[in-house]
């Protein structure tokens, strides 16, 4: 089987959960198929050479193509019946031409699409196609609209509407659709129909294991991509509503922040009180997860699954999370983790664990036992039959999906529709001159000159503001 794998980024080295999943899928495919990866990125970036060499050692060629970015199709930010802005950031005419050339020349049996933003390359193309969806994007934006301020919230609603419009256009495009959790499966099946959406859980490697001896708690660990919206919002909530009371209730506790990426400039900085340590990206997170801490997942937007939760559980670290933070993992609260959706609950849970080593150890043992079902070595055994079925069906499930969607009752949830109406009413009530000025500024921001200036500025900020990793 010859497979082309379309990836929204260079998957090596993996620095976040999404890249870990992409790389594991590539390696699993390479066990029974010939795989070629086409990725979006800067082909001149210093990491591309090592990535090519690492994948080539496993028999997987890597080609990297530069993105074109937003342009004329995104000029009207109010338009909702078009592809999302997120997809525009991964638009690469060079990648599209390379894919077409490979399909025309023959020898390609199946195209794997990683993330829905890469579906723009396969619409209308023949042949078997499989997509892996690490989250349901329209549901993510609808959830973010509920926790974001009014202006950003309205932008999330517009993007959610575009993803919903695009979801309908993609019906009948794929032979198999992978999702990491049953919640995502339940969101997609009402439109796409039964038999298409398959559960392929988030997995972790066998290298994560709990340490020997007792488990004490002397710090709170905030771990995850520092530029990911739900993590940014969750961390802001933690330091605003949880930390002031927690530092009084547990004077010995510190906070360690670990993760890749750079927080948005608009995000509040963590308190500089001497008890909050910013570590940034660390090369080997195993030592961090085996340390004397408790993982806190304060996110209020779910979808997909949290690789960091599984890694912490496998390392024997106790976990305190919101309900959204452990979505799709089927954990038993009180036995394998603690759930705290409010600030007072979280303060109580964390301060109690800091005083009770046996409780922390018991949670760690139960979590480590539960996570064995999420080892990638077990999950990947399910993949080959799914790919071979997609190849053998000859498009029959696509036809069933199109027939199902014609009669599907698939509409926006009532709470999202109500929020949308409120945001539109508030926006329309603002002075016309202010609305026109805002629209003109947003259009100017999309111009090539401004985008080049932004890119140059961000490169400088990355060098100046990205925290230097601390050992351990």
pLDDT in tens, 56-109: 999 999 999 999 988 888 888 888 899 999 999 999 999 999 999 988 888 899
Least reliable range by pLDDT among 36-40, 277-281, 452-456: 452-456
Could you tell me which of 368, 214, 215 has the C-alpha nearest to residue 292?
A: 215
Could you tell me which of 70, 37, 66 has the C-alpha nearest to residue 51?
A: 37
Is the Cα dihedral 287, 292, 297, 298 positive or negative?
negative
Contact (Cβ atoms closer than 8 angstroms) between residue 230 and residue 135: no
Same domain for 295 and 416, yes or no, is no
Q: Among 358, 374, 390, which residue terminates a domain?
A: 374
Average of per-residue pLDDT across 318-342: 90
Same domain for 75 and 175, yes or no, is yes
Residue 150 pLDDT grade (very low, low, confident, very high; cuts 50, 70, 90): confident
pLDDT digits (tens, 9 = 90+) for 348-369: 999 999 988 889 889 998 999 9
More confidently predicted of 419 and 164: 164
Same domain for 145 and 232, yes or no, is no
Residue 347 belongs to domain with CATH number: 3.40.50.2000
What percentage of the chain carries pLDDT values higher than 90? 47
Alpha-helical runs (H) found in 217-271: 229-237, 243-249
Same domain for 341 and 251, yes or no, is yes
213 in a domain, yes or no?
no
Same domain for 180 and 41, yes or no, is yes
Number of domains in the chain: 3
Which token pair is 365? 């043992």
Give dist(CA 62, CA 35) in Å, integer. Answer: 9
Give dist(CA 154, CA 307) in Å, integer. Answer: 29
Contact (Cβ atoms closer than 8 angstroms) between residue 32 and residue 3: no
472 in a domain, yes or no?
no
Same domain for 80 and 199, yes or no, is yes
- At 472 the pLDDT is 44
Residue 446 pLDDT grade (very low, low, confident, very high; cuts 50, 70, 90): low
- At 295 the pLDDT is 93
Same domain for 351 and 404, yes or no, is no
Same domain for 251 and 386, yes or no, is no
Average of per-residue pLDDT across 125-136: 91
Give dist(CA 34, CA 31) in Å, integer. Answer: 8
- At 196 the pLDDT is 93
214 in a domain, yes or no?
no
Q: Which range marks the domain in which residue 442 is found?
A: 433-466
Contact (Cβ atoms closer than 8 angstroms) between residue 96 and residue 121: yes
Same domain for 352 and 411, yes or no, is no
Q: Among 330, 354, 374, which residue terminates a domain?
A: 374
Average of per-residue pLDDT across 126-154: 90
pLDDT digits (tens, 9 = 90+) for 403-412: 999 988 888 8
Mean pLDDT, the chain, as a whole number?
A: 87
Could you tell me which of 280, 274, 225, 255 has the C-alpha nearest to residue 467?
A: 280
Give dist(CA 258, CA 226) in Å, integer. Answer: 8
The residues, any chain, with a CB within 8 Å of residue 54's CB and separated by 6 or more, are 12, 13
Same domain for 273 and 309, yes or no, is yes
303 in a domain, yes or no?
yes
pLDDT at 470 over 80: no
471 in a domain, yes or no?
no
- At 173 the pLDDT is 94
Residue 388 pLDDT grade (very low, low, confident, very high; cuts 50, 70, 90): very high
- At 264 the pLDDT is 74
The residues, any chain, with a CB within 8 Å of residue 122's CB and separated by 6 or more, are 6, 99, 111, 113, 129, 173
Q: In which residue are the tokens 């539960």 written?
A: 370
Same domain for 343 and 440, yes or no, is no
Same domain for 387 and 340, yes or no, is no
- At 301 the pLDDT is 78
CA 458 to chain centre: 21
Q: What is the pTM of this model?
A: 0.84
Average of per-residue pLDDT across 415-437: 71
- At 151 the pLDDT is 83
Contact (Cβ atoms closer than 8 angstroms) between residue 383 and residue 27: no
Give dist(CA 271, CA 255) in Å, integer. Answer: 10
Contact (Cβ atoms closer than 8 angstroms) between residue 246 and residue 342: no
Give dist(CA 391, CA 130) in Å, integer. Answer: 9
pLDDT digits (tens, 9 = 90+) for 215-265: 788 899 998 877 888 888 888 999 999 999 998 999 988 999 988 777 777
What percentage of the chain carries pLDDT values higher than 70? 92
Give dist(CA 31, CA 299) in Å, integer. Answer: 36
139 in a domain, yes or no?
yes
């Amino acid at each position: 089987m010859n497979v082309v794998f379309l990836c929204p980024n260079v998957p090596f080295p993996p620095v976040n959960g999404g890249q870990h999943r992409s790389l594991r899928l590539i390696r699993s495919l390479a066990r029974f198929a010939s795989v070629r990866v086409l990725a979006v990125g800067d082909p001149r970036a210093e990491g591309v050479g090592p990535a090519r060499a690492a994948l080539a050692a496993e028999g997987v060629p890597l080609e990297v193509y530069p993105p074109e970015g937003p342009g004329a199709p995104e000029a009207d930010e109010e338009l909702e019946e078009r592809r999302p802005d997120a997809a525009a950031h991964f638009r690469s005419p060079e990648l599209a031409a390379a894919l077409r050339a490979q399909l025309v020349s023959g020898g390609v049996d199946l195209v794997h699409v990683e993330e829905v933003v890469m579906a723009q390359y396969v619409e209308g193309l023949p042949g078997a196609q499989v997509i892996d969806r690490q989250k349901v994007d329209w549901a993510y934006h609808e959830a973010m609209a509920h926790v974001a301020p009014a202006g950003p919230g309205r932008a999330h609603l517009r993007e959610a509407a575009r993803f919903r419009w695009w979801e309908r256009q993609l019906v009948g495009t794929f032979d198999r659709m992978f999702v990491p959790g049953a919640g995502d499966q339940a969101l997609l099946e009402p439109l796409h129909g039964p038999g298409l959406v398959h559960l392929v859980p988030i997995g972790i490697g066998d290298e994560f294991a709990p340490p020997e001896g007792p488990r004490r708690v002397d710090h709170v660990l905030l771990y995850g991509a520092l530029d990911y919206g739900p993590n940014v919002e969750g961390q802001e909530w933690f330091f605003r509503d949880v930390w002031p009371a927690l530092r009084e209730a547990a004077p010995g506790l510190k906070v360690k922040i670990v993760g890749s990426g750079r927080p948005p400039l608009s995000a509040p900085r963590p308190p500089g009180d001497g008890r909050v340590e910013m570590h940034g990206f660390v090369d080997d997170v195993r030592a961090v997860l085996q340390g004397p801490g408790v993982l806190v997942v304060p996110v209020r937007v779910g979808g997909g699954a949290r690789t960091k939760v599984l890694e912490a559980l496998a390392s024997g670290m106790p976990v305190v999370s919101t309900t959204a933070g452990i979505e799709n993992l089927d954990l038993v609260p009180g036995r394998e983790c603690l759930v705290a959706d409010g600030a007072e609950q979280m303060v109580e849970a964390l301060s109690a664990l800091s005083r009770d080593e046996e409780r922390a150890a018991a949670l760690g043992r139960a979590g480590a036992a539960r996570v064995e079902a999420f080892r990638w070595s077990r999950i990947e055994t399910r993949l080959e039959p799914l790919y071979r079925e997609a190849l053998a069906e000859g498009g029959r499930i696509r036809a069933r999906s199109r027939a199902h969607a014609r009669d599907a009752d698939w509409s926006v949830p009532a709470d999202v529709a109500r929020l949308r109406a409120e945001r539109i009413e508030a926006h329309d009530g603002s002075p016309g001159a202010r609305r026109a000025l805002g629209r003109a500024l947003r259009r100017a921001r999309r111009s090539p000159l401004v985008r080049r200036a932004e890119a140059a500025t961000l490169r400088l900020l990355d060098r100046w503001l990205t925290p230097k990793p601390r050992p351990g």
